[in-house]
Structure 1
Amino acid sequence: MIRVTRSIVLEDSEIELNFVRASGPGGQNVNKVASAVQLRFNVAQSPSLSDDVRERLVTLGGRRITRDGVLVLSADRFRTQELNRADALERLCALIREASIAPIPRRPTRPTLASKRRRLDGKKLDSRRKSLRRTPVKDD
């Protein structure tokens, strides 16, 4: 059982971990040990997530979400399975925490009278400045 937030707790059965060979440093050990972790979490079928959190998580997941609604995270920063496993789980928890925060709706505001006046005064100044650039009209 993984506690993500106070209200969100993931069951171990919801997370699938596969260990694969990692690229990168490690010498001959790279060819023998499957230290990279591929974490799969079915966002679409998870009973732990509310509909709002699920929607935001799909948006945050981006390319990491499959057509079936499965979030796939790969972790191969470290040389050991344990550290990569912990890294993948922490990244999953961070994504879910971020998705659990509801965005604050924007309240449309009107410009103040003073800001309208400042804008119009600026336009008048620009107009006056540009009118002075014109060639003067000759009086006959």
Structure 2
Amino acid sequence: MQSPDGDVLGAAAGHGAGPVFLRLATCRNRLACRLAREIASAFFAVPVPAIASPNRAVAPVCEARHVAMYLAHVVFQVPLAAIAGAFGRDRTSVAHAVRRIEDRRDDRVFDAMLTRLEGLAHAVRLALEQVPDDAHDAGVAR
């Protein structure tokens, strides 16, 4: 079965999740990683291109990047492999970054800061999840 724009609708065509659903998941994951980078960039005053850079970085950039990866994984529920692709890193590097952030939560000040960032990221996630319903309720086509 094809959609109006010619895409094969995966499950209906007998292909499991199918290409349409995989593309939607990929777009969702990339958006979530971008939002996590933007949140970390604004909080740590580190430019987004520095956070997104695949190169090694100085400590403030590295911390912002690790927090962005953590938010993408924990709040936005993006798989480690997808985060790795979005950040130009290996999956094991992302796992290391997430573990480092989790280990630092023993520090009360760091934990309080991360809790605020998680709250912000959760609010953004909830707002995005409401967009299609709001558009539909207003009579706007999806």
User: Normalising by structure 1, what TM-score?
Assistant: 0.24
Higher RCO, 1 vs 2 (CA within 8 Å, ≥6 residues apart): 1
